[in-house]
C-alpha cells in the first residue's frame, strides 16, 4: 500500500551519551527462510520500535491472522537495579481490533535480554510449526535456531496445552525461559501467550504470566507458525551504578528507593487496610458492588441487590482466598527480582482479579473452588480470560433470555441469572453450564466455536443474521459488551464498570484510559483518559511493570536521561500514540460508535449515578452518542488529527 496519508513523524530527540543503548542488538527473524539479521532502528523502547516497524513494512492492509509482524522486546532498563524493569513487551497487529496493539507480561525480560538482544522482529511464516530459540553468550546474540514441533507437545509431561508445551521446550532445549501458545491460538482470533518460569525440573505455580489481550497468540501461531520462543544465555547488558535508584528516589520522594517501591506496591503485596493483597485480594473489597456480575447485567441492578451479591462474593469467593493464600503467605513473583510478591496462589493456581471474575461472578459462579477449575481450562488452552468471560457470560445471558435453546449449546437448562432469587448454591448449576460452553469454545465447535473463530462482535452479528425471528426485541449484539473498531474489529473491555473502558480511544483492552468507576463531561473525561494513556504508554515502552507505576512515573524521565541520554516526556508519548492512531485509521480500525445496547448502558448507568440530571437524562433519551462523539473529538484535538467522520451507533 502507499505510505499513510496521515503521517506525523516521531519527535527526533537528541541523545547524549548514556550508559546503555535503548535497543540492544535488535534482530529480524525471517521465518520463511529460517535465518536472521541484525537491524538498525532508532527507538527508545519496544512500543516505539514496534510502531515504526509496522509503518515501515506498511502492514495496515495485512490480514492479521494471515500475515503479521510480531515485535517482542524489553525496555532499556532490563537487568538494571530498578525493580519491575524486566517486563517483556509485544507489539502486533491485533486479530481482534485489526489495529496495532500492545501487550505485556511479567519478568520474562530478565532472561530475554540474556540472549544478547532486547528486540526481536518476527517476519514471514514458517513452513511448519516451529519453536524459535535465541541463544546468547558474553558478546551478544550467538545464534537463532528453529525446531519443529507437533501437536503432541500440547500433551506432554503430565501437563496440557500451554503448560505442556512450556515443559516440552524446557526439557528438550533448556532455555532460561520460554513464551508459548496454547491450542486455542491455532484457530481463534483471541489466543493469548504465556510465559511460565521453570522451577527446577517443573513449572513455577507463581510466575505464570500471560500476554492476554488482543490475540498475540493467534498472531504468532497463525501468521508466523511459531508456537514457542525460548531464550537465554550469558549476556549481561552494560552495568548501571547500583546507587542510581537510591539517588533518584531521594531527589524525587525524599525517601529511600526501597521505601518508595514498597509503598507504591502495597496493594499488590499486602495492604493492611484491606487485610489482603494482589488484584484479587484488594479489588473485591475496594470496588464491592461495582464489580461486573451476570454478564454485566449488574449495571441494571438496584444498590440493594448488588450489595447482597457483593456480600456473597466476600463470603464465598474472597474469604477462602484470604484464609488459604493471604494468611499463609502463599506469595511469589513473576521472575523479576522485585519485592512486590504480587503473585498469589490458591490451591496451586495463580489468581488475579480479572481472570477470576471472568470465570466467577461474571458468569454467575460465586464459589472460588468452581471458578479455579474453569481458570485452569482457560490457562491451559491459552485463552484470553477476559474475552472468554465475556463470551461465556454473553451466551449464558442469551440462553437465560431465550434467544438460544439449551440444546443449541449442549446443555440441559438455562442458567440461574435472576439476581433477586440467586443463592450461592446455584453456582454449581451455572458452573456446569459454563464448563460445557467453555469446552466448545476452547475446541472451536458449535455456537461457542463461532465466537472463537469470528470473535465476539462477529459471532453476535452472525447469530443475528442466522436467527432473525428471535431478535425482533433484543439482538444478540445488544447483549454483548464490546467496543467496535472499523467494520470488523472490536475489543471486549476489562472487567470494570467504567465508561473509560468503552470510550473511543485507539488502544483499549488494557489500562490506557481512565478506568475509574466515574463519569464526567466528555471533554474532561477524554483529557483524563488520554493523560492516563500517555503515562501507561511510557511505562510499557520502558518495559516497566505497571504495578510499579506510582514510583516509576515520577522517575522514568530521569532514568532515561541518566541511563540512555534521552528525554522522554508526555510530548514524546503523544507522538508515539499519534502514530498508533494514524496507523489504525489507515488500517480501518478507527473507533466507531457503540453498536451494542449493553455497551451503551455501561456508560448510561454510570452517567445516571454521577450526573443524573444532565447526562443521565440525555442517555435515557437516546442522545448518549453525543457524549461519545465529543469525547472522540477531544481526543482528536489532543492528537492533532482529524480522521474521517463515521455515522451510526446504537439505537436506544
CATH for 283-337+342-485 (1.10.569.10, 3.40.640.10, 1.20.120.520, 3.30.1490.100): 1.10.569.10
* Residues, the chain: 652
* Cα distance from N-terminal residue to C-terminal residue, the chain: 39
Percent of the chain with pLDDT over 90: 95
- Residue 211 near residue 104, CB atoms below 8 Å: yes
What pLDDT was estimated at residue 6?
Answer: 30
Closest CA to 314 of 386, 382, 366: 366
Residue 649 has pLDDT above 70, yes or no: no
- Domain 27-240, second-level architecture: 4-Layer Sandwich (3.60)
Residue 45 has pLDDT above 80, yes or no: yes
Determine which of 46-50, 84-88, 223-227, 641-645 has the lowest per-residue pLDDT on average.
641-645
Closest CA to 351 of 170, 155, 206, 182: 206
By 3-state DSSP, what share of the chain in percent is helix, strand and coil, each rounded to 5? 45, 15, 40
**609: helix, strand or coil:** helix
Residue 15 has pLDDT above 60, yes or no: no
Q: How far is CA 484 from CA 97, 255, 504, 597, 650, in A?
A: 8, 45, 9, 12, 11
What is the tens place of the pLDDT at every residue in 497-556? Answer: 999 999 999 999 999 999 999 999 999 999 999 999 999 999 999 999 999 999 999 999
What pLDDT was estimated at residue 17?
Answer: 66
Residue 652 has pLDDT above 50, yes or no: no
* Residue 628 CA, distance from chain mean position: 23
Q: Which pLDDT band holds residue 18 (cuts at 50, 70, 90)?
A: confident
Q: Which pLDDT band holds residue 643 (cuts at 50, 70, 90)?
A: low
In this prediction, residues 79-104 reach a mean pLDDT of 98
What pLDDT was estimated at residue 651?
Answer: 37
What is the tens place of the pLDDT at every residue in 207-230? Answer: 999 999 999 999 999 999 999 999
CA within 13 Å, CB half, 390: 32
Average pLDDT along the chain: 96
- Residue 371 near residue 317, CB atoms below 8 Å: yes
What pLDDT was estimated at residue 641?
Answer: 87
- Residue 104 near residue 112, CB atoms below 8 Å: no
What pLDDT was estimated at residue 19?
Answer: 84
In this prediction, residues 465-493 reach a mean pLDDT of 98
Q: Which pLDDT band holds residue 485 (cuts at 50, 70, 90)?
A: very high
**Domain parsing of the chain, residue ranges:** 27-240, 283-337+342-485
What pLDDT was estimated at residue 574?
Answer: 98
Provide the 10 A C-beta neighbour count for residue 365.
30
pTM: 0.96
The helix-helix angle for 385-400 and 446-466 (nearest 10°) equals 60
Q: How far is CA 68 from CA 58, 89, 236, 284, 515, in A?
A: 11, 16, 31, 38, 30
**Spatial separation of the C-alpha atoms in residues 453 and 443, rounded to whole Å:** 10
> Do 27-240 and 283-337+342-485 share a fold?
no
DSSP assignment of 260-283? HHHHHTHHHH-BTTTTB-HHHHHH
What is the tens place of the pLDDT at every residue in 155-203? Answer: 999 999 999 999 999 999 999 999 999 999 999 999 999 999 999 999 9
In this prediction, residues 30-34 reach a mean pLDDT of 98
Amino acid at each position: 500500500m502507499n505510505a499513510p496519508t496521515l503521517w506525523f513523524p516521531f519527535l527526533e530527540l537528541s541523545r547524549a551519551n548514556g550508559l546503555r543503548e535503548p535497543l540492544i542488538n535488535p534482530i529480524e527473524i525471517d521465518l520463511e527462510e529460517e535465518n536472521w539479521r541484525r537491524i538498525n532502528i532508532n527507538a527508545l523502547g519496544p512500543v516505539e520500535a514496534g510502531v515504526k516497524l509496522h509503518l515501515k513494512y506498511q502492514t495496515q492492509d495485512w490480514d492479521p491472522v494471515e500475515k503479521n509482524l510480531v515485535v517482542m522486546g524489553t525496555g532499556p532498563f532490563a537487568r538494571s537495579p530498578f525493580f519491575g524493569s524486566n517486563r517483556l513487551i509485544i507489539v502486533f497487529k491485533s486479530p481482534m481490533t485489526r489495529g496495532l496493539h500492545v501487550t505485556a507480561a511479567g519478568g520474562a525480560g530478565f532472561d530475554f535480554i540474556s540472549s544478547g538482544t532486547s528486540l526481536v522482529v518476527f517476519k514471514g511464516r514458517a513452513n511448519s510449526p516451529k519453536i524459535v530459540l535465541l541463544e546468547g553468550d558474553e558478546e551478544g546474540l550467538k545464534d537463532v535456531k528453529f525446531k519443529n514441533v507437533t501437536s503432541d507437545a500440547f500433551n506432554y509431561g503430565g501437563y496440557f496445552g500451554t503448560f505442556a508445551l512450556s515443559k516440552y521446550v524446557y526439557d528438550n532445549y533448556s532455555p532460561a525461559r520460554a513464551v508459548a501458545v496454547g491450542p486455542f491460538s491455532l484457530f481463534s482470533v483471541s489466543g493469548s501467550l504465556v510465559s511460565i518460569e521453570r522451577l527446577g525440573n517443573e513449572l513455577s505455580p507463581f510466575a505464570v504470566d500471560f500476554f492476554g489481550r488482543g490475540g498475540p497468540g493467534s498472531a504468532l501461531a497463525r501468521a508466523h507458525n511459531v508456537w514457542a520462543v525460548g531464550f537465554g544465555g550469558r549476556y549481561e547488558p552494560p552495568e548501571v551504578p547500583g546507587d542510581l535508584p537510591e539517588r533518584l528516589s531521594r531527589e524525587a520522594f525524599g525517601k529511600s528507593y526501597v521505601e518508595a517501591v514498597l509503598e507504591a506496591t502495597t496493594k499488590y503485596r499486602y495492604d493492611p487496610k484491606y487485610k489482603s493483597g494482589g488484584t484479587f485480594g484488594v479489588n473485591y473489597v475496594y470496588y464491592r458492588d461495582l464489580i461486573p456480575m451476570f454478564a454485566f447485567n449488574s449495571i441494571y441492578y438496584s444498590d440493594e441487590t448488588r450489595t447482597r451479591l457483593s456480600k456473597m462474593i466476600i463470603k464465598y469467593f474472597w474469604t477462602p482466598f484470604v484464609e488459604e493464600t493471604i494468611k499463609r503467605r502463599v506469595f511469589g513473583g513473576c521472575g523479576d527480582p522485585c519485592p512486590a510478591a504480587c503473585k498469589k496462589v490458591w490451591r496451586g493456581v495463580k489468581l488475579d482479579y480479572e481472570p477470576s471474575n471472568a470465570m466467577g461472578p461474571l458468569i454467575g459462579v460465586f464459589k472460588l473452588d468452581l471458578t479455579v477449575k474453569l481458570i485452569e481450562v482457560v490457562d491451559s488452552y491459552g485463552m484470553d480470560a477476559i474475552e472468554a468471560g465475556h463470551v461465556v457470560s454473553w451466551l449464558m445471558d442469551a440462553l437465560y433470555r431465550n434467544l438460544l435453546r439449551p440444546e443449541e449449546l449442549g446443555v440441559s437448562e438455562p442458567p440461574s441469572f435472576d439476581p433477586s432469587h440467586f443463592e450461592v448454591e446455584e453456582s454449581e448449576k451455572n458452573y456446569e453450564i459454563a464448563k460445557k460452553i467453555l469446552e466448545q469454545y476452547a475446541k472451536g465447535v458449535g455456537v461457542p466455536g463461532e465466537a472463537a473463530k469470528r470473535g465476539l462482535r462477529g459471532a453476535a452479528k452472525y447469530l443475528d443474521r442466522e436467527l432473525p425471528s428471535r431478535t425482533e426485541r433484543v439482538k444478540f449484539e445488544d447483549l454483548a459488551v464490546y467496543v467496535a473498531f472499523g467494520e470488523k474489529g472490536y475489543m471486549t473491555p476489562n472487567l470494570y464498570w467504567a465508561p473509560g473502558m468503552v470510550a473511543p480511544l485507539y488502544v483499549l483492552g488494557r489500562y490506557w484510559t481512565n478506568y475509574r468507576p466515574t463519569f464526567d463531561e466528555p471533554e474532561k473525561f477524554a483529557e483524563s483518559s488520554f493523560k492516563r494513556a500517555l503515562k501507561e504508554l511510557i511505562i510499557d515502552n520502558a518495559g516497566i511493570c505497571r504495578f510499579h507505576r506510582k514510583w516509576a512515573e515520577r522517575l522514568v524521565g530521569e532514568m532515561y536521561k541518566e541511563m540512555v541520554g534521552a528525554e522522554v516526556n508526555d510530548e514524546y508519548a503523544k507522538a508515539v500514540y499519534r502514530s498508533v492512531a494514524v496507523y489504525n485509521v489507515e488500517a480501518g480500525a478507527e473507533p466507531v460508535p457503540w453498536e451494542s445496547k449493553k455497551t451503551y448502558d455501561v456508560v448510561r448507568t454510570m452517567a445516571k449515578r454521577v450526573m443524573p440530571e444532565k447526562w443521565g437524562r440525555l442517555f435515557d433519551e437516546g442522545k448518549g452518542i453525543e457524549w461519545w462523539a465529543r469525547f472522540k473529538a477531544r481526543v482528536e484535538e489532543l492528537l492533532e488529527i482529524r480522521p474521517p467522520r463515521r455515522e451510526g451507533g446504537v439505537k436506544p
